[in-house]
A and B are shown apart, each in its own frame.
Chain A
């Protein structure tokens, strides 16, 4: 069995520790005297320091050591936990992340300034900051490399050491193993013969040892005798190199721990840590590889099913059915492996909201719901940025200042609710606030000035709100620090659509807004509607399909030139895929219309035949086809032929554009 790389294990572990520390600190901001959290933060820092030093993250270990020391003082009640201290350690914790990610980067200035803050937070303003040299005091003793050096070791064992099983001769032998020794016994403590107990030790030893081994190995010799003995190890001046290159005297690892009390039994219930032992960590790419194999298996299986279906062999059929069942189960199991609870995504927002609340002076309560909802890992990774943007938006544009809220008869504290829930093959994530809602007039004015709509154009409320997602649209009259970071709602929308999801917004003036994201549970497998256009088969993602209907001959004829069908009193534009794909074939006598939608916009696709539903693995298109916008990918059918997957978003946009042109033409 090959072992994982300890450094990468440490990195993962450190990232988790940092999250734990952060979450503990955030809990502390709510109740500063929460003993359990103080202990948890201390322990996190402590482990991070210890393991960091173990795996060569010296800068991280040294920096963390200072934070740990500060928290140790809080733990022991020497200094109170204050908001300043918690904030200082929160900022420091961000820096630790940087030290973890780029251990060789230039962090000294940042470290010094953060420690300065920390120092002030612990000791109160006005106290002198520690010398920046303190940074150099890594808790890991520096091991000087190589070179024959001479050490002087003086030790004296407790009188009863032999009764405890310590053999001084063994110690001397071990030192001889390290190098050339000159041993002198100090007999001054030996009493007169009549007072002598043969089981007692009265001797002391003075050893001069020449060795290339580091000091720690000499210390190891005495490791079992521990503190009861007197031990002095020093390097003799004779063999010391010139002063300029003399090894720096490293202070003892934890100087402030001198009067440490015994750690009390910590009954903190840290179930997360306990659980982790039952889990196996697997690199994500191995899961991806396995997903590919399973995908291929599903394809091969559907070919087998097709073959078996046409064969008369009953035995083959039953085996084929068995394999169909097994591969289906395997696929489902595989999907579950890739699922992660959205809690990991939501947890980072507590920090964001905490920071934003301080920055904006708005009082904010973050409520998260449905954290145990599970989503594909890729979805979680890609949703992080859009969600940050949406939460920022809610806080920056949506929530009012406390005085405004009170004047409007609301609670001074604004509420942002992040919730996730699963419906069928989709997960719905909503960001809801109880702020002022979207300012319609401002949206309209902005859209008019930027030429998105004609002045005074009649738009439904929903259409007006949709303008927010238009590229380059931003309603903030002044670009603020929070939202004005160059990412607009259009980028959010694009990211969501790239995940084959949809975004929608509802908003009531004065009551708040809600943005909801509908994301498929997995990206790797698609539930599709297989259709035929001309001679080719195409897949339409089933999640986008609203309904299918027949395009009657009259409708077809009537709508020539103006491609609309009337669907329950509303006109829906449609596209003839046969024309779009230039198949050059005659239309089927019974053409069908598949109505697809992205949120509020709909378009019909005219196809020759609807073959049925088809669950399949998505293959992305090669880089040669990256500019093909009509298709989002490809899939392999049971008979081995390829079917292209239609890009719903793009087609809806084309349809809507066509509608707009026709409308403009009158």
Chain B
């Protein structure tokens, strides 16, 4: 079965790049515009991987993943941060909140696919 990925970013151009990159790699990609939207979509559907920005309006990526981990059905879904931040403290917080990985913007589309493959194992 094709893996489903949710990409959460307030930047339309980043969402577009992420979506095109991952769809070309054979994944089914859904977009969300901020943490609130992301959380809504996560609650409504099943995803194999979440790729999210950190700094977003309405709800940031860290809060979103903390909320997500509180939901019994979603404790296990892997989450990768895709952000311009590269600060160690933030990364540690992300890890503590249950993040699986961290990719710094600007990113190389190939690394994104590589990471997706690594996490999803397909």
Contacts and interface: CB of A to CB of B under 8 A. Distances in A.
Given A252-B86, A263-B62, A273-B57, 17 more contacts: A6-B13, A51-B13, A51-B105, A54-B107, A216-B111, A223-B115, A224-B118, A226-B102, A227-B95, A260-B89, A262-B93, A263-B60, A268-B57, A268-B58, A270-B57, A274-B36, A277-B32
B25 interface: no
A253 interface: yes
Interface of A: 3-4, 6-7, 9-10, 12-13, 40, 43, 46-47, 49-51, 53-55, 139-140, 216-217, 220, 223-224, 226-228, 252-254, 257-258, 260, 262-263, 265-270, 273-274, 276-277
Contacts of A46: 55, 84
B106 interface: yes
A46 B85 CA distance: 10
B93 A217 contact: no
B100 A224 contact: yes
6 contacts: A4-B16, A6-B16, A50-B11, A258-B87, A260-B90, A273-B57
B115 A220 contact: yes
Interface in B40-85: 54-60, 62-63, 83-85
Contact of A9 (B13, B95, B100): B13
A37 to B, nearest CB: 12
Given A6-B20, A226-B95, A54 B102 contact: no
Q: Shortest 8 CB-CB distances between A and B: which pairs? A: A10-B13, A50-B84, A270-B57, A54-B106, A53-B106, A265-B63, A277-B33, A9-B13
Contacts of A9: 12-13, 16
Contact of B13 (A54, A140, A266): A54
A140 B106 contact: yes
A159 B20 CA distance: 39
Given A50-B14, A51-B14, A53-B105, A227 B91 contact: yes
Contacts, number: 129
B84 A253 contact: yes
Contacts of B92: 226-228
A363 B106 CA distance: 44
B10 to A, nearest CB: 6
A273 B114 contact: no
B31 A277 contact: yes
Interface of B: 10-14, 16-17, 20, 31-34, 36-37, 54-60, 62-63, 83-93, 95, 100-108, 111, 114-115, 118
Contacts of B93: 262
Contacts of B16: 3-4, 6, 9
B10 A47 contact: yes
Contacts of A55: 13
A6 B85 CA distance: 22
Contacts of B85: 254, 257, 260
A139 B83 CA distance: 13
Given A43-B55, A51-B13, A253-B84, A262 B62 contact: yes
Contacts of B13: 6-7, 9-10, 13, 51, 54-55
A423 B105 CA distance: 50
Could you tell me the dominant secondary structure of chain B's interface residues? mixed
Contact of B91 (A47, A226, A253, A276): A226
A560 to B, nearest CB: 68
Most chain A CB inside 10 Å of its own CB: which residue of B11, B63, B115 = B11
A4 B16 CA distance: 8
A160 to B, nearest CB: 13
A462 B15 CA distance: 57
A4 B95 CA distance: 34
A654 B100 CA distance: 77
A217 B111 CA distance: 7
Contact of A220 (B55, B87, B114): B114
B16 to A, nearest CB: 5
Given A216-B111, A276-B33, A254 B87 contact: yes
Contact of B34 (A51, A139, A257, A274): A274
Given A140-B106, A257-B85, A258-B87, A276 B12 contact: yes
A55 B104 CA distance: 14
Contacts of B11: 13, 47, 50-51
Contacts of A273: 10, 33-34, 57-58
Nearest to A224: B101
B91 to A, nearest CB: 5
A439 B106 CA distance: 59
B77 to A, nearest CB: 15
Nearest to A12: B12
Most chain A CB inside 10 Å of its own CB: which residue of B12, B56, B58 = B12
Contacts of A257: 85, 87
A3 B20 contact: yes
Contact of B55 (A12, A263, A274): A263
Contacts of B36: 274
B8 to A, nearest CB: 11
A257 B84 CA distance: 11
A374 to B, nearest CB: 23
Contacts of A252: 86
A277 B37 contact: yes
B21 to A, nearest CB: 10
A267 B36 CA distance: 10
A325 B104 CA distance: 55
B59 A266 contact: yes
A266 B57 contact: yes
Contacts of B88: 227
A595 B58 CA distance: 58
B47 to A, nearest CB: 17
Contacts of A265: 59-60, 63
A49 B118 CA distance: 28
A53 B10 contact: no
B102 A223 contact: yes
A387 to B, nearest CB: 29
A157 to B, nearest CB: 14
Contacts of A269: 58
Given A6-B20, A13-B11, A268-B57, A49 B84 contact: yes
A75 to B, nearest CB: 11
Contacts of B101: 223-224, 226
Contacts of B54: 263
Given A6-B16, A13-B11, A40 B86 contact: no
A515 to B, nearest CB: 38
A274 B106 contact: no
A274 B31 contact: no
A53 B86 CA distance: 14
A421 to B, nearest CB: 32
Contacts of A227: 88, 91-92, 95
Contacts of A220: 103, 111, 114-115
Contact of B84 (A139, A262, A277): A139
Nearest to A272: B57
Nearest to A220: B111
